[in-house]
Amino acid sequence: MKTNIFKLAAILLILAGGIISCKDKEKEKPFTLKGTKWYLIGIVDVETGDMTELEREGYGLLNPDEFYTIVFDAPQPLRACGASAAGMCSWGEPAADNFFWGRMATNQIGGDYEIDYKIGAFRFTKFDITEAGCMRWCKDEDLYAQNLRQVQSFVIKDTHPRILHLYTNDGKNYLKYKKIGG
């Protein structure tokens, strides 16, 4: 009788442990870009480690902390319309999956992207940019947009805060971002 009670207790402990283990695994969902916002730290040369920082000095009402940011799969107040449109388009609806938007110094960007988390592949499939006057930031905005258009792969560093590398130029350079918020 005591042997059966011990066997029953052992079985119950094993089952309870399995249930708790499964619940823990449910909570451990892989990190994705969906709903995240990133702040560009700089553009890094992989071989030398040199980092080019883009100018962030604001003027007037512009907030330099919003310069060179990118947001993935989240609603945005405005959407870049592309070279043929003047100004910004109203967006209003929540963004679809694999949509991004962001800011440079004076212009905004938006479009679509493809990502494969298993192999680290990433590319922008549609890239729109507004063409507002960029004043003294034209060179930096051109450099930033040129690099974004060439992104081929990515790595997300599991640090605090998280760091995102978007690799360009056959892995010779990467845009280094810091995650903003949660």
pLDDT in tens, 66-112: 889 999 987 765 544 444 444 444 444 545 689 999 988 888 899 99
Burial level of 110, CB count in 10 A (0-12/13-18/19+)?
buried
Is residue 36 within 8 A of residue 43, CB to CB? The reply is: no
Domains of the chain: which residue ranges?
Answer: 1-30, 31-180
- Residue 125, SS3? strand
Higher pLDDT among residues 157 and 9, named by residue:
157
43 vs 64: which has the higher pLDDT: 43
Q: What is the mean pLDDT of residues 15-43?
A: 70
The closest of 135, 150, 161 to 41, measured between CA atoms, is: 161
Give the closest residue to 151 by CA, choosing from 21, 13, 40, 65.
40
Q: What fold does the segment set 31-180 form as a domain?
A: Lipocalin (2.40.128)
Q: Is the dihedral of CA 84, 168, 136, 60 positive or negative?
A: positive
Q: What pTM was estimated for this model as a whole?
A: 0.74
Q: Is pLDDT at 170 greater than 90 in this prediction?
A: yes
Biggest alpha carbon–alpha carbon distance for the chain: 87
